[in-house]
Chain A
């Protein structure tokens, strides 16, 4: 949140996350190396490094791309989302080792500049079986570098959330390039169908999860049209439909609204976190504050303001509770405006 930056805001969860992450990475590399040494005992150390880092980075990229849609489909996956940027930066460094070793091994031994050699040693761009797949990996690595280099909150503030988010959507371009890099590269030399099956299964899983999560979101948005209206207020749901310290999210007149129930009251704020546009309505009330499920940014439910000394503010909405039903006025108040919470009716 926007006070002074620190290099990494370490806490118990982040330390645990990183420990599990790096243990997992080490385990994956060790298993792969053991597998290679058993089935290809003639393999060189350089090739072993190139292959082990390639498979590890590619698997990590699949995990990274799965976390977003999985979290939208099931909140049990939200803890994985919490420190996803460390996962991304770790993946970049592993991919960088793969790229550096590959360039050294295959392009640094001639009299041409190794980077120039990546683009000129093979120019069969019209062929499939001999396509210069290295260039695809090179551009993917550039995208991953830009994303890793701008992963700190400093960049979110200085590039603006919209540009930052757009830049980081580049991960999908990188993924596409890497699928082609693998398909037109190493898989052209592997005869076993298991490699193709794994690549296609990964691609289908990633696209399938995104499509299913998108359908779920569209269903939610379309369900919010045609709600009863009374004096600018729109009936949203029964009070009982909102679990304690949680929210119901609605999309009315172009406004994405999260309605929270807490301490016998109901308040409504804009459903998008100021940090990385996380879905606040999927978060909880923690210590009296709406807490974003993505990175823990907090806001007071009554006025949408981050607690001092932080300065982020959300738009707020008027709410009322009548006969056990929650009504919201979709005309937003200025960011940080106090709105009296609706008191829950006591029986």
Chain B
């Protein structure tokens, strides 16, 4: 049981770390290309959407590539 949980947690950790790295680059380079409503939206807004970006980062990776 402990091994299974540890493995799942390790996978989740990798997903989150990749998500954090992707989200930092995405906010800097890709966010405005994917959603034009983000222009001039401010740092607090980007901070507010950051946890969600880390959660749903694969979706934004696809959107960014398509844009």
Chain A contact residues, CB within 8 Å of chain B:
2-7, 112-113, 115-116, 119-120, 123, 145-146, 148-150, 152, 154-155, 157-159
Contact = CB atoms under 8 A, between A and B. Distances in A.
B48 A116 contact: no
A33 to B, nearest CB: 29
Given A150-B52, A154-B37, A7 B2 contact: no
Contact of A123 (B1, B40, B45): B1
A157 B37 contact: yes
Given A6-B42, A6-B45, A7-B45, A154 B9 contact: no
The 3 closest A-B pairs by CB, nearest first: A7-B44, A149-B52, A149-B51
B2 A155 contact: no
B38 A116 contact: no
A165 to B, nearest CB: 16
A340 B10 CA distance: 61
Interface string B16-42: 000000000000000000110111111
Name the prevailing secondary structure of the B interface residues: helix
Contacts, number: 65
Interface of B: 1-2, 5-6, 9, 34-35, 37-42, 44-45, 47-49, 51-52, 55-56, 59-60, 63
Contacts of B1: 119-120, 123
B37 A146 contact: no
A159 B60 CA distance: 10
Contacts of B47: 7
Given A112-B2, A113-B6, A120-B1, A149 B42 contact: no
Contacts of A155: 49, 52
B35 A154 contact: yes
A132 B46 CA distance: 37
B41 A120 contact: no
A157 B41 CA distance: 15
A119 B35 contact: no
Nearest to B39: A4
Contact of A4 (B5, B34, B41): B41
Given A113-B6, A116-B2, A145 B51 contact: yes
Contacts of A154: 35, 37-38, 45, 49, 52
B49 A4 contact: no
